[in-house]
Amino acid sequence: MPEALARKPLSAASTPVSAAFRPLYRQIKDLLVQALDRGDWKPGEAIPSETELALRFQVSQGTVRKAVDELAAENLLLRRQGKGTFVSTHHEARVRFRFLRLAPNQGEVQPAESQVLDCRRVRASAEIARVLELKGGDPVVAIRRLLSFASVPTVVDDIYLPGALFKGLSAELLNGYRGPLYGFFETEFGISMVRAEEKVRAVSADADISTLLGVVQDTPILKVDRISFTYADRPVELRMGHYVTDRYHYRNSLN
């Protein structure tokens, strides 16, 4: 049992009452998200059983189950038949592929070959500060990464991360890691990317991007702007990707 919760059992009655009515299971869901945000249960760890949580929050087991069901539907938790409920981790394929939207026109998705071209600390521009909810001029880590599939350059990512959350991040660390990038952030910095918002549009490859992707300048490519959030909807990554899509497409599922 996490020490913080053991010392002071949480109850739905202790949550602030808002003017608008919130169902009890939503209040329990909020408490569970707060616990995840505090790190009471780490990625990949099991959370307490529904019976334990019901006792802790002083609500019915059905109320807890409904809250956990919603968190599982949002991929924050993973249910494993006969084993329990676990905190989602980017080291698990079904979570990782939620954020990998590029798929080949034919065949199966192949592992990407990642090469970090640059990683340095810079001052946030006004736009980057706005997106990441920082102050203008705050330090950010700027990463440029090239992804190749079967040795063919396919994606150039420009990634911006809050400097205060990613102290010590370097090109050497990134190039020495062979797993998913979000898994690295999760393991090394305790930052879990739990959802993202994206804007997708067609653009012409400029001189810089066309050189890196090995295409003729002004070739039509796909540009994907992503803002990734951790718990409590805090933005922790701005990513601008340029994709060659002659052999790939950007996939999505609408449920």
Domain ranges of the chain: 3-87, 103-250
- pLDDT tens digits for 216-238? 999 999 999 999 999 989 999 99
- Partners of residue 58 on adjacent β-strands: none
**pLDDT at residue number 9:** 46
Mean pLDDT calculated for residue range 35-50: 92
Fold match between domain 3-87 and domain 103-250: no
- pLDDT tens digits for 117-176? 999 999 999 999 999 999 999 999 999 999 998 899 999 999 999 999 999 999 999 988
**pLDDT at residue number 252:** 76
Among candidate residues 196, 192, 228, 184, the one with its CA nearest the CA of residue 36:
192
Q: Is 146 helix (H, G, I), strand (E, B) or coil?
A: strand
Specify the DSSP class assigned to residue 22: -
- pLDDT tens digits for 87-116? 988 877 665 556 767 778 887 777 788 999
When the pLDDT of each residue in the chain is averaged and rounded to a whole number, the result is 87
Rg (the chain; Cα; Å): 21
Q: How far is C-alpha 53 from the chain's CA centre?
A: 26
Q: Residue 176: exposed, middle, or buried by beta-carbon count in 10 A (0-12, 13-18, 19+)?
A: exposed
In terms of DSSP H, where are the helices of 10-160?
Answer: 24-38, 50-57, 61-73, 93-96, 126-132
CA-CA-CA-CA torsion sign (165, 200, 250, 212): negative
Angle ∠(29,33,36) on CA atoms, nearest 5: 140
**pLDDT at residue number 90:** 84
For the full predicted model, state whether its pTM sits above 0.75.
Answer: yes
Do residues 2 and 41 make contact, with C-beta atoms less than 8 angstroms apart? yes
| Domain 3-87 = CATH 1.10.10.10 | yes
Torsion on CA atoms 162, 129, 201, 89, rounded to nearest 10 = 30
Q: In this structure, are strands 84-87 and 234-243 parallel, antiparallel, or unpaired? A: unpaired
User: The tokens of 84 are what?
Assistant: 């329990």
The identity of residue 76, as a single letter, is L
Among candidate residues 177, 197, 202, 199, the one with its CA nearest the CA of residue 187:
177
**pLDDT at residue number 112:** 82
Q: How far is C-alpha 7 from the chain's CA centre?
A: 30
The CATH number for 103-250, chosen from 3.90.76.10, 3.40.1410.10, 3.50.50.60, 3.30.390.50, is: 3.40.1410.10
Give every CB contact of residue 19 below 8 A, 6+ residues apart in sequence: none
